[in-house]
Chains A and B, each alone.
Chain A
């Protein structure tokens, strides 16, 4: 398939790897921000093909993983109400709330539906005027244009039975939080390509300058990731810290202005709690006052729910790149994709699930990949 096969070419991958090997003279630690990249890295064993000086630290960029427990509990509460059709991307279904998940709510008679796009939820609202249709609007900047369009359309069509449970997060404040943490070892970033397809690159020069880290906008296929690493290592070796675009086929300097305009019309920046990590200032979006009527938290009055994470799960440390999933005692024993203790074991973009799928037998050694059934259990939404 065009734009996929070419960027999976093993021969070119070898060349890029040789080049990285020739460039790296000292140990360097790079963070890939996005869970999609984590998945690709572990799936293709890229971290194990790299010269040992180059370490990849997995970042917090899995929106399923960082959606706070209290928001999951709010989703469960709303989804259980009679008259509600609760719509979500598929990989939210098994994310554990305090005492159950959406899958369970569905089993108990809740009308929970998996949708591919927020516009599908909007269609359901049009087709079911006597029901309340709620869409679980999670995601990073990549998903925000879709969710913003859904609520924009709801208002245009005068649909009063549609609302969003919003838990949107933004990448740049998360990078700032990671870089200011005392244990931080990250020396360079692979910035998430599709976030930049939407937002462009304007938010990154300040971060690169302030923390003196190279930031290389990176795609998702194996060659894209290797090229991101190659450029980041080259900058580090030369003592540089610039923003570079290693994914020019999908990222323009200015991003997608039409999409950004829609985001800014519908959402405003707010503080957000990240599951396992805690509050990060200005790290999310919520609906603006003009769209408050479409906010499910207000409509269903669930804003009072407060929760606490299970102590056993170390997803917070995993998400900050402080430990690898295999260092968690519950990994693969009490915690599996079927019985996840933490959200990072649910989505295929969560580091714990990626390691479980591709690295379980022998932690640290390459492995052919999990069974088809397991792959399905943690199938990505996009």
Chain B
């Protein structure tokens, strides 16, 4: 029930109250209420639950998370020795 899926805003219909727009979910398009993300722009991504966009998806944060995951792995691979591990556990990494 808390399932909410990301979709791309394809168009926004200013004439409706509440504000609605067409959202693309990887090929499937559906109308959703945009009233809670009223400053959203076409081309941006929103997270949609039961026909309502609840929040805009922040591209920068998404990329930062992915970069962090990659660096975690690289740290492991490149410096994955006991000393590195110890320094991490000490909270310096």
Tell me if chain B binds chain A. yes
Whether A120 touches B51, Cβ cut-off 8 Å, given contacts A2-B6, A22-B76, is yes
- Decide: A382 and B5 in contact? CB cutoff 8 A: yes
What is the interface size of chain B, counting residues whose CB is below 8 A from a CB of the partner? 41
Given the complex, which residues of A lie within 8 Å of B88, measured CB to CB?
A: 22-23
The smallest beta-carbon distance between A350 and chain B, in angstroms, is 10
Smallest CB gap from A34: residue in B: B2
In the bound complex, CA of A197 to CA of B59 (Å): 15
Residue contacts A-B, CB under 8 angstroms, 27 given: A1-B25, A3-B57, A6-B62, A12-B70, A14-B73, A22-B76, A23-B89, A63-B1, A116-B50, A116-B51, A117-B51, A138-B1, A142-B4, A143-B2, A143-B49, A153-B18, A197-B4, A198-B54, A227-B65, A238-B91, A249-B61, A250-B55, A250-B57, A258-B35, A262-B36, A381-B50, A382-B2
Cross-chain contact A382 with B3 (CB below 8 angstroms): yes
A291 to B88, CA, bound (A): 55
Task: Evaluate contact between B69 and A227: CB separation under 8 angstroms.
Answer: yes
Q: Please, how many angstroms separate the alpha-carbon atoms of A22 and B87 in the complex?
A: 12
The 10 A-B residue pairs with the shortest CB-CB distance, nearest first, are A117-B51, A15-B73, A382-B3, A1-B26, A248-B61, A3-B6, A249-B62, A249-B61, A197-B55, A146-B52
A14 cross-chain contacts in B, Cβ below 8 A: 73
Tell me the minimal C-beta distance from B45 to chain A in angstroms.
6
State the B residues within 8 Å of A (CB): 1-6, 8, 18, 25-26, 30, 33, 35-38, 45, 47, 49-52, 54-55, 57-59, 61-62, 64-66, 69-70, 72-73, 76, 85, 88-89, 91
With known contacts A18-B76, A248-B64, A259-B54, A119–B45 Cβ distance under 8 A: no
Partner of A195, one of B2, B26, B70, B89: B2
Q: Are A248 and B65 in contact (CB under 8 A)?
A: yes
**What is the distance, in angstroms, from B88's C-beta to the closest C-beta of chain A?**
8
Contact A149 B35 (CB under 8 A): yes
Contact B73 A119 (CB under 8 A): no
Give Cα A16 to B36, complex, Å.
34
Name the A residues within 8 Å of B38 (CB-CB): 258
Q: How far is the CB of B39 from chain A (nearest CB, A)?
A: 10
Query: Once the chains are docked, how many angstroms separate the CA of A88 from the CA of B5?
Result: 20
Nearest-Cβ distance from residue B35 to partner chain A, whole angstroms: 7
